[in-house]
Amino acid sequence: MEKERGMEEPQATPALQEFPQLQRLAMFSPATQGLIADYLAYLSARHYTPSVQEGTIRALKSFAVLMPAARQSVLYQDLTQTTPTDIDAWIEASFRHQLAPGTVATRLRVVQGLFRFLRDQGYVPQSPIRHPRHHILVPQDLPRPMAEEEVIALFRVIDAGCSRCYLKPLVNLTMLNFTSARDFGAGLSSGCTWSERDGPDV
């Protein structure tokens, strides 16, 4: 009985045997999994880190889960039928699920790598991911404010290096403005009046 049960179990495809992580993409047909396995082998042959393969699996899983239901049967069977409109729908669904712009941009870049590989191998005429159509604007973090000591040290280094250059007057003026603004702020925080800051009338 156990033997009969074992005979009923589907045999693992060569792609699954080589890359067991493809089990997470079980919704795709064996033919599509074979194309993905070829790409993973391509990455491995070029000594990409395992994290790159993992990122590819995650991005494709996201694409598979978030694609419109009406397109699932077609794309699960043959990923090379992906169109720019399918990519539009994936991006929109990703933002509806509150994924960060950086995450969406990274996954697009990863899947773009797969489709470029498929293009180079002759499976697709061109990638369905198009620029600037599918470009994602990623907010940039503001730089960390410099502490006063760091600003002074920076200007001292610049000043030392500009002893004989035309930038020295500019550096001196900038440093003067900085120290004046610092002293002015200190005066306001200490509670002195405008007349005290201005000094006696002459």
97-148: pLDDT as tens digits: 999 999 999 999 999 999 999 999 999 999 999 999 999 998 876 667 767 7
**The pTM is what?**
0.65
**In terms of domains, do 95 and 161 share one?**
no
Residue 105: CA count within 13 A, CB half-sphere: 10
Residue 17 domain-assigned? yes
**In terms of domains, do 97 and 180 share one?**
no
Kindly tell me if the per-residue pLDDT of 7 is higher than 50. Answer: no
How deeply is 79 buried, as exposed, middle or buried, from its count of CB atoms within 10 A (0-12, 13-18, 19+)?
Answer: buried
Number of domains within the chain: 2
The pLDDT-based confidence of 170 (bands split at 50, 70, 90) is low
Contact predicate 33/25, CB 8 Å: yes
Range of the domain at 75: 12-120
Question: Can you list the alpha helix ranges (DSSP code H) found in the chain?
Answer: 2-8, 14-18, 30-45, 50-66, 69-77, 84-96, 101-120, 148-161, 168-190, 194-198
**In terms of domains, do 68 and 108 share one?**
yes
Contact predicate 114/123, CB 8 Å: no
**In terms of domains, do 114 and 157 share one?**
no
Contact predicate 66/97, CB 8 Å: yes
**In terms of domains, do 90 and 23 share one?**
yes
Per-residue pLDDT at 8: 42
**In terms of domains, do 51 and 115 share one?**
yes
Residue 135 domain-assigned? no
Residue 108 domain-assigned? yes
**In terms of domains, do 114 and 153 share one?**
no
| CA distance linking residue 63 with residue 61, whole number of Å | 5
Residue 162 domain-assigned? yes
Average pLDDT over residues 90-101: 96
User: Which of 16-30, 93-107, 109-123, 177-191 shows the lowest mean pLDDT across its residues?
Assistant: 177-191
User: Which of 6-20, 57-71, 179-193 shows the lowest mean pLDDT across its residues?
Assistant: 179-193
Average pLDDT score, the chain: 81
Query: 164 or 113: whose pLDDT is higher?
Result: 113
The contacts of residue 114 (CB under 8 Å, 6+ apart) are 36, 39, 56, 60
**In terms of domains, do 104 and 170 share one?**
no
